């Protein structure tokens, strides 16, 4: 999996942190990138790092927006496929944590977190799957989504293996799923 030359990789939450590092990692390996986040200035900085890693600026698409917005998710996948003609890998990296204690009043921040960490990722994955199937592509779920998908009552098609990202490389992680009796 070290040769990503020409592959199209959509990375959510790519304006900072692990998402930005992942973008540079794949840029160094020749992938074409669709990057998304909520901060346009930070995304431009990541594009600069990807160009320094060897990509042409035309090989990096940025789309600024909120993944909890259904219209934005549709535009993101459509724009990626319209620009590059395919989608090979979806990296569901965007996520958030709620600061505070469970004893704090109110649930709004938890609903916001759930909408981004689960609902948006599942919805984006559903939009990407038809394009990924065409090229036998891959989905890299976040740790939160991976935990949900690993539930015993949910089976993945053909028990496909998933790829888990670290900040420096991709490690192949064989998930051993027991079939329900």
Domain spans of the chain, in order of start: 8-173
What is the reported pLDDT for 145?
Answer: 46
Nearest-5° Cα angle at 92, 38 to 11: 60
Helices 17-28 and 40-52 meet at what angle, rounded to 10? 30
Q: What are phi and psi of 178, to 5 degrees?
A: -85, 135
pLDDT for position 47: 98
| CA pair distance 160, 167, nearest whole angstrom | 23
For 154-157, which contacts have Cβ atoms below 8 Å and span 24 or more sequence positions? 155/179
State the pLDDT at residue 142. 66
Return the number of other C-beta atoms located less than 10 Å from residue 1's C-beta.
12
Contacts of residue 178, Cβ cutoff 8 Å, sequence gap at least 6: 152
| Rounded mean pLDDT for each run of 10 residues along the chain, 181 residues in total | 84 93 94 97 97 96 96 98 97 81 74 85 93 90 50 36 32 39 50
Check residue 167 and give its pLDDT.
Answer: 28
Q: Which fold has domain 8-173?
A: Rossmann fold (3.40.50)
pTM of the model: 0.77
Q: Which residue has the tokens 């090989």?
A: 59
Distances (CA, A) of 114 to 62, 108, 118: 24, 10, 6
pLDDT, residue 102, reads 67
């Amino acid at each position: 999996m070290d040769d990503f030359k020409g592959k199209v990789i959509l990375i959510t939450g790519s304006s900072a942190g692990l998402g930005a590092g992942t973008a540079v990692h794949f840029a160094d390996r020749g992938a074409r990138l669709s990057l998304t986040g909520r901060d346009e200035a930070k995304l431009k900085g990541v594009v600069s790092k990807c160009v320094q890693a060897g990509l042409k600026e035309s090989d990096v698409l940025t789309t600024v927006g909120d993944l909890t917005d259904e219209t934005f998710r549709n535009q993101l996948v459509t724009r990626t496929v319209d620009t590059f003609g395919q989608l090979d890998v979806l990296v569901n990296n965007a996520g958030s944590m709620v600061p505070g204690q469970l004893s704090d009043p109110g649930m709004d921040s938890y609903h916001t977190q759930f909408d981004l960490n689960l609902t948006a990722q599942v919805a984006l994955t559903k939009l990407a799957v038809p394009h990924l199937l065409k090229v036998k592509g891959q989905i890299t779920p976040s740790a939160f989504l991976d935990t949900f998908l690993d539930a015993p009552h949910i089976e993945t098609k053909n028990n496909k293996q998933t790829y888990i990202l670290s900040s420096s490389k991709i490690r192949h992680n064989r998930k051993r799923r027991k079939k329900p009796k």
